[in-house]
Chains A and B, each alone.
Chain A
Amino acid sequence: MVGPFAGFKWLALFANWKVFAEGFLTTLLASSLSLCLALVLGIIFGVLGSTHFKFPKAINRVYVEFIQNTPLVIQVFFLFNGLPHMGIMLPVLAVGVLGVGIYHGAYIAEVIRAGIQSIHRGQMEAALSQGFNYVGAMRYIILPQAARVVLPPLANQAVNLIKNTSVMALIAGGDLMYRADSWSSETLHYGPTYVVVGLLYLSLCFPLANLVRYLEKRAEVSA
């Protein structure tokens, strides 16, 4: 009997290590770019959501509710197959980065909004009374304090973001998951493939998850 983990399958896998190295690099690239995008969007929309004005609040709600309540797969599928019907043909890496970045931007916006709202109202008043404008008060007074509160959930989002870049496998994105699906289904050596790919994802996410724990501990100590 030939088991899913037969020795020759492992050998074939390691002989084709370049396939997985390329996928790993693509996943790394897509993860870092979409994390940057998600942070920028998250900060902007999180700040909008924490204001006391109706219009920016409404913008925040529309973005967050729409993105959080539709599956990432559909959003990415829309970017990949929907936009071309409107004449916009984004490269597949851009589709992955935009899709995952916008998706996690919504979650990060909620994290940041909660973080900002956890900062006492008097901080904003003190800053305003000293002549800061709203943006300056946010930048120098509120956000640095909120950062301490939001760092653990933010790192947690980063972990999820890395895992969710695997959605690119659905749109032939060339990422680690795509290479794994492609190679394993071609050779049927799915056993070793998903073990190795799982370990590669683990090697990205585990250090971050540990960072989360460390940050949480630190936040507890300083609180």
Chain B
Amino acid sequence: MIQLTEVHKYFGHNHVLKDISLTVQTGEKLVVIGPSGSGKSTLIRCMNLLEKPTSGKVVVDGVEITAHNAPVAKVRQQVAMVFQQFNLYPHKTVLENLTLAPIIVGGVAKEEAEESGMKYLDRVGLRAKANAFPSQLSGGQQQRVAIARALNMRPKIMLFDEPTSALDPEMIQEVLDVMVDLAHEGITMVVVTHEMGFARQVADRVIFMDEGEIVEQGTPEHFFINPNHDRTKLFLSKILR
């Protein structure tokens, strides 16, 4: 479903991704962990080309999006992203946040987009907030709306870029619950997170990144019981405490 081949990314002289090759299978739940500055956010942002790799190839759903003149916008409709800072549209109501892109970009009829939008709001437990503005919601609620907004695109892939890092501790769980619920469906998920409980619960595979490289990968069990590398052990010891 997603295939990265020999991807490098530089920010100026800063080499943030070093020769990454990685394949995500259809329906796979991939969790990416690693210390801050390890390049994990850049990695996931390469998957929908919010960051353009300096070199290497990214193929999503059979389309090489790093190619010249690739139909990037078209591909992005299939690859929804949930951000650390939610990035809801503050000038639109909750329901409009969900329906704007499907109507304008996806060409879905307004009524249809609203109907499915209400369905997804229901699913994240926020049906009652359909006509509220984002600023009237708590952080946890906003992130749930962001997930519903992603879902209303009917994507094949969902990318989560540290979705709980900006939340107050008491709101993290409500967002994780929604994500776990999602994981039980067939959708392909790539999640950058520090939530090890979530990783253990849903991940098919966990990747540990450090200094722009994939240091180690394996099942959650492998990671939590018997990681190979010292760097992995050090990182896990810090965040598991």
Residues in chain A within 8 A of chain B (CB atoms)? 120, 122-123, 125-133, 136, 140-141, 144-145, 148
Contacts and interface: CB of A to CB of B under 8 A. Distances in A.
The 5 residue pairs across chains A and B that have the minimum distance between CB atoms? A131-B77, A126-B87, A130-B101, A122-B87, A129-B81
Nearest to B159: A129
B105 interface: yes
Interface residues of B, number: 24
Interface of B: 48, 50, 73-74, 76-77, 79-81, 83, 85, 87-91, 100-101, 104-106, 149, 153, 159
Contacts of A136: 104-105
A131 B108 CA distance: 14
B105 A129 contact: no
Given A132-B101, A136-B104, A144-B91, A125 B50 contact: yes
Contact of B91 (A127, A129, A148): A148
Given A129-B48, A129-B50, A130-B77, A140 B104 contact: yes
A123 B81 CA distance: 12
A190 to B, nearest CB: 50
B89 A141 contact: yes
Contacts of B74: 131
Contact of A131 (B73, B88, B159): B73
Contacts of A141: 89
Nearest to A125: B50
Q: B interface, by DSSP: helix, strand, loop or mixed?
A: loop
A122 B84 CA distance: 10
Contacts of A126: 81, 83, 87-89
A145 B105 CA distance: 19
Contact of A132 (B73, B79, B88, B159): B73
Contacts of A145: 89-91
Given A144-B91, A148-B91, A130 B105 contact: yes
Contacts of A132: 73, 101, 104-105
Given A129-B159, A131-B105, A140-B100, 14 more contacts: A122-B87, A125-B81, A126-B81, A129-B50, A129-B76, A129-B79, A130-B100, A130-B101, A131-B73, A131-B101, A131-B106, A136-B105, A145-B89, A148-B91
A137 B81 CA distance: 16
7 contacts: A126-B83, A128-B73, A129-B76, A130-B100, A131-B77, A132-B104, A132-B105
A130 B83 contact: no
Contacts of B88: 126
Contacts of B83: 122, 125-126
A130 B73 CA distance: 8
A159 B76 CA distance: 43
A136 B104 CA distance: 9
B53 to A, nearest CB: 16
Nearest to B146: A126
B50 to A, nearest CB: 5
